[in-house]
Amino acid sequence: MKWLEVKKADSFDFKCDKIASDKSISHRCAIFSLLSDRPSVVRNYLRAEDTLCTLEIVRRLGAAIEDRDGILKITPPEELSEPDDILDCGNSGTAMRLFCGFLSSIPGHFVLTGDKYLRRRPMRRVTEPLTHIGAHIDGREEGNLAPLCIRGERLRSFNYESQIASAQVKSAMILAALRAEDVSTYSEPELSRDHTERMLRGMGANIESWDTITIEPMIRPLEPLDITVPADPSSGFFFAVAAAIVPGSRVIIENVTLNPTRTEAYRVLQKMGARVDFEEKENRYEPIGDITVTYDGKLQAVEVSDRISWLIDELPALSIAMAVAEGESVVKNAAELRVKESDRISCVIDGLKACGIECSETEDGYRITGGEISPAQIDSCGDHRIAMSFAIAGLLGDMKIKDVECIDTSFPNFAQLLASLTEVKSWR
Ligand code: S3P
């Protein structure tokens, strides 16, 4: 069991171009490269456990992967091979759900599994609509829990109205639609992150997005990707919160995706009173640039109840900002937090209570009354975002966090970067 101890920090001015590469985009780079018949070139691919699992699955499906000076060349096989063993998605819901959509139409037998946390997460949200269009997928609890067995089949086109705003479900269905018999449509209650649509369109797929997404089946292989993965705004957000809560501080997060479906949490931080500046520098597949967050006085409480899918991954870190803001903050409509890598509603609330903060759970969110964070010992619940959120809380009051191996799933150099701001100790 690995521990992390974070000591109280003084003010800092931190310019960082080493925030982990975007996890969502990296998974997609690996999987989408299989939709072309030529090599894709991917710079800055995230080398973290989750995305390395995805890359390994792509290799097991027959792709040749060369890594030269950190640049990946992914050459798809002429025909995907049927792997002779199970495919391990590690801790990653994105990998499992996107591979479900992708493999449902590939001839062969595939078994997807993952770690003990992933094997508890609901997969029916993808297996049900895929089964409905002809996929053969089975798993524990009638197809809801991994390991999942897939036998590739010819898929029918569909008009699917999803009841949840989920980029993973949307991406699985778009991948299925690319190989379906005819044109398909997909709609969701509110727009979820749209990397899949942007990247596939960049590769030449016929995907139109208005209120509904229309997907034409691929009639030929797509263009390969030639992409530099930007920094991950969800990983950068831990440092954004750090700057917003430690008086006199500033952080500049460089070369991060400024896709609006990913930067909503920064806008909430702005609403709470931090100074947040966005500077767009380029636009290829996605807008990319720098985000500067500057401490600008005590934060004020906020209510967060809409565009939840645009900030769902940042809510644990945002809860640390809420814990020191003036007044009562409320998070609503976020029941989805309960089925992430951990039950993030109860893990956040248990952790904040241990820090002496007045707070309570509701079914779909929580209430947090701002106060002073006291030194505490926190259980990460095996969840990377819980571990990193409470590490940031440690900047205000010393914090010991237990079970921090999970940080490697998304942000392996997190502790190293945090050590530029304060004293950090780690032991087993
Ligand atoms: C992701 C989508 C989000 C997010 C997850 C990554 C993706 O989940 O929480 O960390 O890469 O598609 P949803 O499927 O609930 O939108």
- Tell me the pTM: 0.98
Strands 40-43 and 226-228: parallel
Across the beta sheet with 184-187, the strand order is 159-161, 184-187, 213-215, 207-209
- pLDDT, position 334: 98
CA gap 190, 312 in Å, rounded: 13
Ligand 1 centre to CA of 97 (Å) is 10
Q: Active site residue: 50, 115, 194, 313, which one?
A: 313
Domain 3-21+230-427 has CATH 3.40.50.720: no
Digit-by-digit pLDDT tens for the chain (428 residues) are 999 999 999 999 999 999 999 999 999 999 999 999 999 999 999 999 999 999 999 999 999 999 999 999 999 999 999 999 999 999 999 999 999 999 999 999 999 999 999 999 999 999 999 999 999 999 999 999 999 999 999 999 999 999 999 999 999 999 999 999 999 999 999 999 999 999 999 999 999 998 899 999 999 999 999 999 999 999 999 999 999 999 999 999 999 999 999 999 999 999 999 999 999 999 989 999 999 999 999 999 999 999 999 999 999 999 999 999 999 999 999 999 999 999 999 999 999 999 999 999 999 999 999 999 999 999 999 999 999 999 999 999 899 999 999 999 999 999 999 999 999 999 99
What pLDDT sits at residue 87?
98
| Nearest alpha carbon, ligand 1 atom 5 | 94
Does 29 contact ligand 1 (Cβ within 6 A)?
A: no
pLDDT value of position 396: 97
Topology, domain 23-228: UDP-n-acetylglucosamine1-carboxyvinyl-transferase; Chain (3.65.10)
Q: How far is the CA of 44 from the centre of ligand 1 (A)?
A: 20
Assess whether the C-beta atom of 313 lies below 6 angstroms from ligand 1: yes
| CA of 197 relative to ligand 1 center, distance in Å | 14
Decide whether any atom of ligand 1 lies within 6 Å of the 94 Cβ. Answer: yes
Distance 95 CA to ligand 1 centre (A): 10
Q: How far apart are CA 42 and CA 76, in angstroms?
A: 13
| 312 pocket-lining for ligand 1 (C-beta < 6 Å) | yes
Residue 26 Cβ inside 6 Å of ligand 1? The answer reads: no
Q: Where are the domain boundaries for CATH 3.65.10.10 in the chain?
A: 3-21+230-427, 23-228
Does the C-beta of 192 come closer than 6 Å to ligand 1? yes
Residue 262 Cα, ligand 1 centroid: separation in angstroms?
A: 10
pLDDT of res. 397: 87
* Three-state secondary structure readout of the chain: CCEEEECCCCCCEEEECCCCECHHHHHHHHHHHHHECCCEEEECCCCCHHHHHHHHHHHHCCCEEEEECCEEEEECCCCCCCCCCCEECCCCHHHHHHHHHHHCCCCCEEEEECCCCHHHCCCHHHHHHHHHCCCEEEEHHHHCEEEEEEECCCCCCCEEECCCCCHHHHHHHHHHHCCCCCCEEEECCCCCCCHHHHHHHHCCCCEEECCCEEECCCCCCECCCEEECCECHHHHHHHHHHHHHCCCCEEEEEEEECCHHHCHHHHHHHHCCCEEEEEEEEEECEEEEEEEEECCCCCECCEECCCHHHCHHHHHHHHHHHHHCECEEEECCCHHHHHCCCCHHHHHHHHHHHCCCEEEEECCEEEEECCCCCCEEEECCCCHHHHHHHHHHCCCCCEEEECCHHHHHCCCCHHHHHCCCCCEEEEC
Q: What angle do CA 281, 23, 109 make, to 5 degrees?
A: 135
Active site residue 313: yes
